[in-house]
Amino acid sequence: MKHQGVATVISAIFALLTAFPTIASAEKILRYTDHEPYGNMRTQFIKNVFFSEIEKESQGRLKIEAHWEGDISSSYNALNTLGQGTRADIGIVVPEYTAEQLPLHQIFKSFPLGPENGEAQVSFFHRVFQQYPQFARELGQNNLVNLQFFLGYPVGFFTRQPDVKLNQLEGTKWRTASFWHQSFLRNAGGVTLAMPWNDKITDALRAGQLNGLMVNLDSGDDIHAQRAAPYIHYSPALWLGHVYLLVINKDTLNALDERDRLAIRRAAETTEKQLGAALDRGLASLTARLENEGAKLHLMSRDEQIEWQKATRYQEVQEEWIRQQEGKGNTDAGKLMHELRLLLEANARENR
């Protein structure tokens, strides 16, 4: 009995020692930061698809601790927060909010029109990030690696009056955030006003201090702009060019086991295959709800889109931006702008 008891204890100790490395390496928690509250199309898709696939592909070794609504970092500080990697390991970076650090990523929004559906938009960004290492290099200079891109809703023009001609905006006042879009509106004859992003924009529309708002459809809905400006021009081809980069701190990525890095890559591939359809479903759902709530949506024809594009004189705006960037030493700016223009044109031909 004595020998049997000793053997049992030894067996138990051996089992614990054998299991310990497995237990110790079984789970790696990655802390995620996102500036938006959980619940919209993008955040649900990230959590329910990408994060689920990461846990599945890693067989539970990788877990995501998600923090939403700027709990860890605001959208404007996310690049620095993630580059440092102390408070968060992975998260969303919006290039528009860090134009100085990510100048080349600003190019996308310089095109008024883009691919006409979710699949084509995903295909475009996939090709861009595969073919042009300048974007990965720009992130790498900030100690970041892109794991997967995500996209949002297209632009909507929220107006107080019906039948607004977007190529004839003389005498009208607008609010938009993007420096590209501000130039487009001014070239079309409008005046742009600077206002903080909050519900007071809706009040300004209601009071007639603004005639219109140019913004992605869901953001307009967030401040209930349609209650004061119920006439909405939109099209999936008004793609916004607004890319959300789900990045990881480079040091964190390098510290992961190779099998976990491969698991994340497989999760990203699965996620990307579902992204286009999710974008189309989300847009259909949002526009249907806006109409049910009384908004008057106008789906712009191709001719109307081309008229808007001509009115923006976007290529002049691009050329001025290129001169500024080359003056700062960004010698790739002009070549890359030209290449992406050709790629967008090819994408349009393929998806007609």
Mean pLDDT of 303-318: 98
Q: List the domain boundaries for the chain.
A: 2-95+117-151+244-277, 155-239+285-350
26 band by pLDDT with thresholds 50, 70 and 90 = low
Please state which of the four CATH numbers 3.50.50.60, 3.40.109.10, 3.40.190.170, 3.30.930.10 is assigned to the domain occupying 2-95+117-151+244-277.
3.40.190.170
pLDDT band at 10 (very low <50, low <70, confident <90, very high): very low
DSSP state letter for 168: -
| Exposure on the CB side of residue 88, measured as CA atoms within 13 A | 28
Instruction: Please determine, for residue 205, whether its predicted confidence score (pLDDT) is greater than 50.
Output: yes
- The predicted structure's pLDDT at residue 5: 54
Question: How far is residue 106's CA from residue 148's CA, in Å, rounded to a whole number?
Answer: 18
* 29's tokens: 């928690």
Same fold, 2-95+117-151+244-277 and 155-239+285-350: yes
Is pLDDT larger for residue 71 or for residue 15? 71
pLDDT attached to residue 24: 44
Q: What is the pLDDT of residues 109-168, one digit of tens each?
A: 999 999 999 999 999 999 999 999 999 999 999 999 999 999 999 999 999 999 999 999
pLDDT band for 13, please (50, 70, 90 cuts): very low
218, 163, 291: which is closest to 172 by C-alpha?
163
Report, as an integer, the average pLDDT of 260-284: 98
CA distances (Å), origin 217, targets 134, 289, 297, 315, 322: 30, 12, 11, 25, 29
Q: Give the per-residue pLDDT at 4.
A: 55
pLDDT at site 347: 78
SS3 164: coil
pLDDT of residue 348: 78
pLDDT band for position 346 (50/70/90)? confident
**pLDDT at 1 exceeding the cut of 80:** no
pLDDT, average across residues 62-71 = 99
Other Cβ atoms within 10 Å of 345 Cβ, number? 10
The confidence score (pLDDT) of residue 82 equals 99
Tracing tokens 């924009």 back to the chain, one arrives at 201
- The whole-number average pLDDT for the span 187-201 is 98
DSSP symbols for 243-263 = EEEEEEEHHHHHHS-HHHHHH
Please state the pTM of the whole predicted model: 0.90
Q: Give the separation between CA 125 and CA 152, rounded to whole angstroms.
A: 13
Domain 155-239+285-350 sits in CATH 3.40.190.170? yes
Q: What is the mean pLDDT of residues 188-198?
A: 97
CA dist 226 and 212 (Å) reads 10
pLDDT at position 352 is: 65
